Chains A and B, each alone.
Chain A
Amino acid sequence: MGKPKRKTAGAGALAALPLYVFALVFVLGPLIYMVALSFMTRAEAWGVVPEATLKNYADIFQPVYLETFWESIKLAVVSTLLVIAIGYPFGYFMAKLTAKWKKRTMLLLMIPFWTSSLIRLYGWIIIFRAGGVFDSCLMALHITEEPLKMLYTYPAVVVGMAYALAPFMIFAVYSSAEKLDFSLVEAARDLGATPWQAFRTVSFKLTLPGLLSGVVLTFVPSMGLFFIADILGGNKVVLVGNLIQEQLMKAHNWPFAAALSVALLALTTLILFLYRKLSGASDLEGLV
């Protein structure tokens, strides 16, 4: 039995070869290039000179940039909370639908992905601009008397982020809620749990891995979705992503942009690490 096994293993490695090449060329290569760039010195007019320096990293610690990082984290937290509030119940109850309605809901969630996210963001401009759909509705319902002028505000960016990222949370929660055995909830109820207690001790605990991976899928990208902050926030909301884009495209300070990118990467890696820790711990939950 050993021989054919080794053969399939060899064939598997061979089949995976393009993947390795792809990763090497398009992921690892650029990454090394970026890290190398971050230690170089900016040239007078254009490009870089290969002079090793730590100045780019030191620059990050200027208050103005630290504040940008802090703002990005805050926005990511707020967006993620909103995404949880929308996505968790959505994904959870979607898993309880009949097969027919599951398919329909899934389709409704997928359709927006067939349109460019940029175009969909411009849709939000139409909704949020002064006297736009949002304002007209609120005024028609007499909730407000004056237009709120939501566009180019912080809440508009949060809504845009939540809109772009909620589907990831929904799918993450859905996939773990689908596996939830409802007889466990019945067992909890039978053993004396109220509906809320049964949810808290059983359903929620068992869908927590989905929620956590949803958080990662939401939090990490929301740090970098600069174009949402750009389009819906005007220049009022500046995130790390915007900063990198600005340094790269406008200031042409490539080494600094690279250093910022490395810092952002380090931050998101830290979050992923925390997630590993947390989800590992959740397996041991519920001990007496």
Chain B
Amino acid sequence: MQLEGIHKSFGDTPVLNGVSLSVRQGEFVTLLGSSGCGKTTTLRVIAGLESPDSGRVLLSGEDVTRQEPNRRDVNTVFQNYALFPHMSVGANVGYSLKLRKVPKADIQRQVREMLGLVQLEGFEKRMPAGLSGGQKQRVAIARALICKPRLLLLDEPLGALDLQLRRQMQQELKRLQKKLGITFLYITHDQEEALNMSDRIAVMRDGRFQQVGAPSEVYDSPRTSFVARFVGAANIVYGTVEAVEGDLVRFTSTDGSGAFLSRGHSFAPGRPVTLAVRGEQSQALKQAGRAQPGLAGVVKEKSFAGGMLRIAVELPSGGTFVCSRQGIDSDLAPGDRVKIVWDPAHACPVDMD
């Protein structure tokens, strides 16, 4: 599947500003972004429910931009499930086969198979109104997969489920995708979900892709400060380049000084630079010499969540830097003066272009 320079506006509001993406057969790609960034519109353009103002949609090399949704070998799992309330679970799942005039016995057999695949054996006669959220979700997935589309679009399919069920469904979806070898294009605003499930993540903002890459790439080497903040909530540090020593670049800021690796970019002294530094890859030190490089600040608060201790440090410039570490123990207390330090390899220069 390929998108080539898709533009789309609703009235005067541009929603997609030149979206291009290419997805390989069998790949699991996630569109990650906050609400209103254009990810659902991108999906609707691919499904054919919305036609782009310009740009092309290609499926297996064939231009389908102007093709009706029912002619496209693409199925969608809608955000609100969109199960037909007047049909039983069996009729919902078998709907597309019935349209294709598949013999009744075949439909029944395939529906049974699909329901088995999503672990809803024997649910054929039930009505959607009597199902739980998780069950509805499974029916919607079975209904979209029964025709074995080349591409399955999933619009925040787990958004309405509670955390535990969501984790379970994440694994199940991944298992289904591997088993059937169908390309998944998945939408979510949950970065953890995206990092968990995807082969590649496309981070979206204001109708544009900010970065497309493997989860580790997006996490470790964010290209923009937005990606750094959105995926894994990195700290953003602004400074001025002081000295370049081979790969190592030293910088200063109003809060102190530090170093990072150039990662193939060229730097010159005096140039402003923006860095992304992960909380778990930095440390707040209580005993630090005046001469030691690092950002100086005062501990504002400590909190414990998800097995990590988060230490928020207030910087003289007014910003807040959050360090995190494993375990609940810490010798730090609010009010302590600290210095924040990190391994230069873990500071990533962002917003370079």
Q: Contact string, B64-84, partner A, CB cutoff 8 A, digits 1/0?
A: 000011100011101010111
Q: Which residues of A contact B76 (CB under 8 A)?
A: 187, 190
Contact B87 A286 (CB under 8 A): yes
Nearest-Cβ distance from residue A108 to partner chain B, whole angstroms: 27
Q: What does the 1/0 interface line of A261-288 toward B look like (CB < 8 Å)?
A: 0000000000000000000001101111
Contacts of A201 in B (CB 8 A): 84, 95, 99
Cβ–Cβ contact A191 & B86, under 8 A: no
Given contacts A287-B91, A288-B107, contact A193 B70 (CB under 8 A): yes
A194–B71 Cα gap in the complex (Å)?
9
A183 within 8 A of B: yes
A188: CB under 8 A from chain B? yes
Is B240 interfacial (CB-CB < 8 Å)?
no
- Cα(A70)–Cα(B328), bound, Å: 88
Docked-complex contact A187 and B82, CB < 8 angstroms: yes
Query: Does any Cβ of B come within 8 Å of A189's Cβ?
Result: yes
State how many angstroms separate the Cβ of B87 from the closest Cβ of chain A. 4
Instruction: Report how far A201 CA is from B87 CA in the complex, Å.
Output: 10
Q: Judging by beta carbons under 8 Å apart, are B85 and A206 in contact? A: yes
Interface contact A183-B99, CB-CB below 8 Å: no
A194 to B68, CA, bound (A): 8
Q: Which of chain B's residues have a CB closer than 8 A to the CB of A187?
A: 76, 78, 82-84
Is B143 touching A191 in the complex (CB atoms < 8 A)?
yes
| A205 to chain B: closest residue by CB | B86
Q: Does B308 contact A (CB under 8 A)?
A: no
A-B contact pairs, 21 of them (CB 8 A): A181-B82, A183-B78, A183-B82, A184-B85, A186-B82, A189-B48, A190-B47, A190-B70, A191-B70, A191-B95, A193-B99, A194-B70, A205-B86, A206-B85, A286-B88, A287-B88, A287-B90, A287-B91, A287-B125, A288-B90, A288-B104
Q: Which residues of chain B have C-beta atoms less than 8 A from A287's C-beta?
A: 87-88, 90-91, 125
Q: A287-B91, A288-B90 are in contact. Are A189 and B82 (CB under 8 A)?
A: no
Asked whether any CB of chain B lies closer than 8 Å to the CB of A105, the reply is: no
B124 is an interface residue with CB less than 8 A from chain A: yes
Chain A, interface SS category: helix
A interface residues, tally (CB under 8 Å) = 23
Q: Does A12 contact B (CB under 8 A)?
A: no
Rounded to whole angstroms, the CA-CA distance of A287 and B108 in the bound complex is 11
Distance between Cα atoms of A62 and B76 in the complex (Å): 64
Contact A286 B91 (CB under 8 A): yes
- A201 vs B91: C-alpha distance when bound (angstroms): 11
Residues of B bordering A, CB below 8 Å: 47-49, 68-70, 74-76, 78, 80, 82-88, 90-91, 94-96, 98-100, 104, 107-108, 111, 124-125, 143-144, 147
Is A63 part of the contact surface with B, judged by Cβ < 8 Å?
no
Closest A residue, CB atoms, query B44:
A186
Residues 183-224 of A, flagged 1 when their CB comes within 8 A of B and 0 if not, give 110111111111001000110011000000000000000000
A192 engages B82 (CB within 8 Å): no
Chain B residue contacts of A191, Cβ below 8 A: 70, 75, 95-96, 99, 143-144, 147
Shortest beta-carbon distance from A120 to chain B in Å:
38
Closest 6 CB pairs of A and B: A187-B82, A286-B87, A191-B96, A189-B69, A183-B82, A288-B90
Nearest-neighbour CB distance to chain B for A282, whole angstroms, equals 8
Measured between beta carbons, the chain B residues less than 8 angstroms from A288 are 88, 90-91, 94, 98, 104, 107-108, 111, 124
- CB contacts (< 8 Å) of A286 on chain B: these are 84, 86-88, 91
CA distance in complex: A206, B87 (Å):
10
Interchain nearest-CB distance for B153 vs A (Å): 9
In the assembly, what is the distance between CA of A147 and CA of B229, in Å? 79
A189 closest partner in B (C-beta): B69
Chain A residues near B75: list those with CB within 8 A.
190-191
How far does the alpha carbon of A183 sit from the alpha carbon of B104 in the complex, in Å?
27
| A residues in contact with B124, CB < 8 Å | 288
A191 vs B73: C-alpha distance when bound (angstroms): 9
Residue of B nearest to A206 (CB): B86
CA distance A285 to B95 in the complex (A): 13
Residues of B within 8 A of A282 (CB): 86
Q: Is there contact, CB below 8 Å, between A190 and B49?
A: yes
The closest CB in chain B to the CB of A184 belongs to B82
Residue in A closest to B104 when the chains form the complex, CB atoms: A288
Q: Which residues of B contact A183 (CB under 8 A)?
A: 78, 80, 82
